[in-house]
């Protein structure tokens, strides 16, 4: 009986550990507030990037970002190592070696620009950096994916989230 109660208590603590009360920013809608402050569900962990993009983890190992409609054959970026958001652009680095058509090396560097509906992948850091030259982006400050989650879980803040200081 005590084991069952302790499991339910742990579940309640997990579900209520990040409920959108730490970030006091006045969001435009409840949907936007929920997107930028929710950190987990019943069977997943998450943190926001730029609406509607989010990093999610279901199996406690593989962090993913779902793409829409997808980059080439990729419907999501898997095995994410680090992320950053600069000037409304999402940057992702993965160690995934998945590829489907054999015409190129696996993409491990990604740029997602939601406002322009751009989702593009690169095989090398050099190709990635060359693409970024056109945007005059300042230096990218990468955050380890796990560290980003724990920082968000504890504070509801990451540098790019509304209401959070850079």
Rounded to whole angstroms, the Cα distance separating 138 from 15 reads 37
In a domain? residue 161: no
Per the structure, the count of domains in the chain is 1
**What band does 107 get if pLDDT is binned at 50, 70 and 90?**
confident
Tokens of 127: 């190709």
In a domain? residue 61: yes
Rounded to whole angstroms, the Cα distance separating 84 from 147 reads 12
Cβ atoms of 50 and 85 closer than 8 Å: yes
**What digits encode the pLDDT tens for the residues 138-148?**
789 999 999 99
**What digits encode the pLDDT tens for the residues 40-87?**
877 889 999 999 999 999 887 899 999 886 665 568 899 999 999 998
Taking residues 92-111, what's their average pLDDT?
78
> Is it the case that residue 15 has pLDDT exceeding 60?
no
In a domain? residue 149: yes
> Is it the case that residue 126 has pLDDT exceeding 90?
yes
Domain that holds residue 91: 2-155
- Whole-angstrom CA distances from 104 to 71, 111, 124 are 13, 17, 11
In a domain? residue 89: yes
In a domain? residue 25: yes
In a domain? residue 79: yes
Burial bucket for residue 132 (CB in 10 Å: 0-12, 13-18, 19+) = middle
Taking residues 103-121, what's their average pLDDT?
89
In a domain? residue 7: yes
pLDDT score at 16: 45
In a domain? residue 166: no
Rounded to whole angstroms, the Cα distance separating 101 from 89 reads 27
């Amino acid at each position: 009986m005590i084991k069952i109660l302790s499991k339910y208590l742990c579940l309640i603590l997990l579900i209520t550990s990040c409920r959108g009360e730490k970030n006091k920013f006045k969001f435009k809608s409840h949907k936007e507030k929920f997107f930028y402050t929710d950190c987990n569900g019943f069977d997943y962990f998450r943190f926001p990037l730029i609406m509607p993009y989010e990093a999610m983890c279901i199996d406690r190992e593989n962090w993913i970002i779902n793409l829409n409609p997808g980059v080439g054959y990729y419907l999501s970026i898997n095995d994410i190592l680090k992320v950053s958001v600069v000037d409304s652009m999402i940057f992702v680095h993965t160690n995934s070696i998945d590829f489907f058509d054999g015409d190129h090396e696996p993409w491990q560097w990604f740029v997602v620009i939601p406002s322009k509906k751009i989702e593009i992948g690169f095989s090398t850091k050099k190709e990635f950096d060359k693409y970024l030259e056109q945007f005059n982006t300042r230096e990218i400050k990468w955050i380890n994916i796990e560290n980003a989650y724990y920082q968000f879980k504890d504070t509801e803040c990451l540098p790019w989230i509304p209401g959070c200081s850079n």
